[in-house]
Amino acid sequence: MDAVERELALLARRSRNASRRMARDVHPDVDAAAYGLLARLWEAGAGRPSELAAHFGVGKPTVARQLACLQQLGLVERRPDPEDGRAHLVDLTEQGRGRVSVQREERQAVLRDRFGQWSDDELAELVRVLARLNDVLV
């Protein structure tokens, strides 16, 4: 278990550092936590702030602060939820989508380079183990 703990701690530190770099690549004023919101909106499309909070396991006030910052930077926008007039949806703006797209393309290039020597089977196994790890760490 010592080795598992050590490797998980190393992975967490490297992941935080990567998130900070990716956030800065999108915009110098975006913090790592807010980058996660941008990535989620990229992957899942528009959503309610409460859904984003639930996805990340954080409070609604935390998400509200991060979204306010992203909205000020012109990266996200709010619009009424057509299914519930009391609620609103958050989505990437055109500028936000463009910046996230460029950052993701650059990150994919880095990953292709770093995993270039891995076989398709090894990559599939990595995905399987990471998915299992994510299920355990919920």
Report pLDDT digits (tens) over 7-41: 999 999 999 999 999 999 999 999 988 999 999 99
The span from the CA of 76 to the CA of 27, in Å, is 12
Amino acid letter for position 114? R
pLDDT the model gives residue 85: 81
CA distances 132 to 10, 16, 55, 59, 138, Å, are 18, 20, 17, 25, 10
Task: Name residue, tokens 């979204």.
Answer: 67
pLDDT the model gives residue 33: 87
Q: Are 59 and 53 in contact (CB under 8 A)?
A: yes
Instruction: Give the domain range for residue 131.
Output: 1-137
pLDDT the model gives residue 68: 96
Q: What is the pLDDT of residues 55-112, one digit of tens each?
A: 999 999 999 999 999 999 999 999 999 888 888 999 999 999 999 999 999 999 999 9
* CATH number for position 94: 1.10.10.10
In the chain, how many domains are there? 1
Dihedral over alpha carbons 13, 44, 130, 31 (to 10 degrees): 0
pLDDT the model gives residue 86: 86
Q: What is the mean pLDDT of residues 116-125?
A: 97
